[in-house]
Amino acid sequence: MTDLRGTLFDLSGRVALVTGGSRGIGRACSERLAQHGADVVVCARKSSDAESLVEQINARGAGRALAVSANITREGDLEALVDEAIGEFGKADILVANAGLHIHVGPSGQMNDAVLEKTLDGNFRALHRLSQRLLPAMAAQGWGRIINIGSIAAHFGSGIYHSYTLSKAIAMQYIRNIAVEFGEAGVRANTISPGLVRTEMAGAIFDDAHALAKELTRSTVGRAGTPDEIAGMVVALAGAAGSYVNGQAIAVDGGQSMRYVD
């Protein structure tokens, strides 16, 4: 194993809490953060998924890992998640807010309050509640990272993804505010906006040849991304390599968000 101690990507001594940490992008983040030396709290709704991944991480012996089952839309679960993380590792100084919801597709007239509130709970309020718990200790120690996994969809208007894009845009602005408020205290807060990535959440696109072709038309690399390619940016922002990056929304999208298609 490559010795990363003393490099810009050395995360030894850090503790990362990853929501939605057992599948897709979250799984890749959990694995790569641990590979670079961080202890990792893998949060997932299904404890079996998290426990299986934690066993694999602990067997590799770089960073330690802990599995915690939690529903991010429930405030009590989030409180218990933080308590377990701190109880095991003494702190949590990297938050990767990856878990999210995409539960409605359709015109704005069909976006009722229940849909909107549930989507906001998953895509914004969980980030806010966890940040509120973790930021005081981050600021007190003079070091912390809040990394929000957003979406390039939040950078555009949409006629059918109303609750999803709205909630992701709110979270993106929240990150900017946190960056301003806590930057001088040593905390860095950023959003990563993935483009099309081959995950379970994006499965409907990959199952629809027309939808997939439409998405790839905007890509400058001619393919979808992988979870590992998002995790790479997470690792960079989590370590010393990201110490001068703050309040940004970084598109990791194969150029999708900058290509004009006529």
Which residues have a catalytic role annotated? 164
Instruction: Spell out where the chain has E strands.
Output: 15-19, 39-44, 65-69, 94-97, 144-149, 187-194, 249-252
**CB neighbourhood size of 51 (10 A):** 18
Which residue reads 């001088």 in tokens?
184
Phi, psi (degrees; rounded to nearest 5) at 149: -90, 105
List all residues 6 or more positions away from 136 whose beta carbon is below 8 Å from its beta carbon.
Answer: none
Query: In the numeric block, which tokens belong to residue 117?
Result: 């509130």
Three-class SS state of 130: helix
Find the length of the chain: 262
65-69 and 94-97: which strand pairing?
unpaired
Nearest alpha-carbon partner for 33 in 42, 45, 24:
42
Residue 149, beta-bridge partner list = 192
